[in-house]
Structure 1
Amino acid sequence: MALELLLRYFHFVSIFVIVATLISEHLLLESNLSRKKIDRLSKIDGIYGLSVLSLLAAGLTLWFGGHGKPTEFYSENPIFHIKLGLFVVIGLLSIYPTVFFIKNRKGNPKDIVAIPKSIFWMIRLELLIVFLIPILAGLMAKGIGL
């Protein structure tokens, strides 16, 4: 029971970090940024990536590790599959901004780089989807979908 509580806590905190980093990225984005600011965004994006990995580790352990609810509770629930699918979509959307930040952070810190509009929209879409997932989690926790 203590392990389940720690896993759920770790899962929950990871969600907060994901939301915080996405909001930070969104607020720091401008149409033109210096490489120094892009480097800062890249570091925030790195924290985002680590929090996604910790969320995945805790979530998969809760799903398959036999802690708490049985595996079937999740595996047989279509709402869980939608939630997982949206998480994958967020991951796919984050690839281009991450690659852009990594490629453009090096060089003269004062150089100005134009930020593609698609990065703004990808981060906004990630934020929208990340705010839908808790609704699905709440429905799933109530057993809806089984």
Structure 2
Amino acid sequence: MIAEALTRYFHFMSILTMVCAIVGEAWLIRPRLQRRVVQQLFVLDSVYGLSALAIVGIGLLLWFGVGKPADYYSKNWIFHLKLGLFTGMAILSVWPTIFFFRHRKGAAEDWIDVPRRIRLMLRLELALLLLIPLCAALMARGFGQMGS
């Protein structure tokens, strides 16, 4: 029982870390940035990526290891929607990550033009992120169970 509680705690902490990182990115992103800000975005994006990996790893442990039986999640279409939304976020995050990685080095005072699609992808990630807790809340209330 304590194992499940601790696993859920680390899952939630990873989720909160990811949320803070993506919100920080959305807060800092502008059409034109100094390289020092791009470097900060690279750090935030790294935290975002590491926390997403933790969410996946701990989530798999919750799904197949501790807590509810695997069928509770496997037979819930809302859970699969939640996974799809998270996967969509991961796919959208690839391009900003590459952009921040490519532009992180150089003089801190240099100005970098940020393509509109990079800013759009960050906004789309946030939009998908807003739907994931709704899925979790619905699942917690028993919605989405398919067959027995």
Partner of 1:97: 96
Partner of 1:132: 131
Does structure 1 residue 142 correspond to structure 2 residue 141? yes
Does structure 1 residue 44 correspond to structure 2 residue 44? yes
Partner of 1:118: 117
Runs of 4 or more, structure 1, over 3 Å off, are none
Q: Structure 2: which 5+ runs fail to align?
A: none
Q: CA deviation at 1:52?
A: 0.5
Look up the equivalent residue of 1:22 and give its one-letter code. Answer: I
Distance in 1 between residues matched to 2:60 and 2:100, nearest whole Å: 29
Does structure 1 residue 74 correspond to structure 2 residue 97? no
Partner of 2:4: 4
Look up the equivalent residue of 1:140 and give its one-letter code. Answer: M
Q: CA deviation at 1:16?
A: 1.0
The count of aligned residue pairs is: 145
Distance in 1 between residues matched to 2:14 and 2:117, nearest whole Å: 26
Q: Structure 1: which 5+ runs fail to align?
A: none
SS of the aligned residue for 1:113 comes to: strand
Does structure 1 residue 17 correspond to structure 2 residue 17? yes
TM-score by length of 1: 0.96
SS of the aligned residue for 1:95 comes to: helix
Distance in 2 between residues matched to 1:95 and 1:109, nearest whole Å: 24
Look up the equivalent residue of 2:87 and give its one-letter code. Answer: V
Cα RMSD after superposing both structures: 0.8
Q: CA deviation at 1:44?
A: 0.7
TM-score by length of 2: 0.95
Q: CA deviation at 1:15?
A: 1.2
Map 1:82-93 → 2, pairs under 5 A: 82-93=81-92
Q: CA deviation at 1:13?
A: 1.1
Report the more deviating stretch, 91-100 or 105-114: 105-114
Partner of 2:34: 34
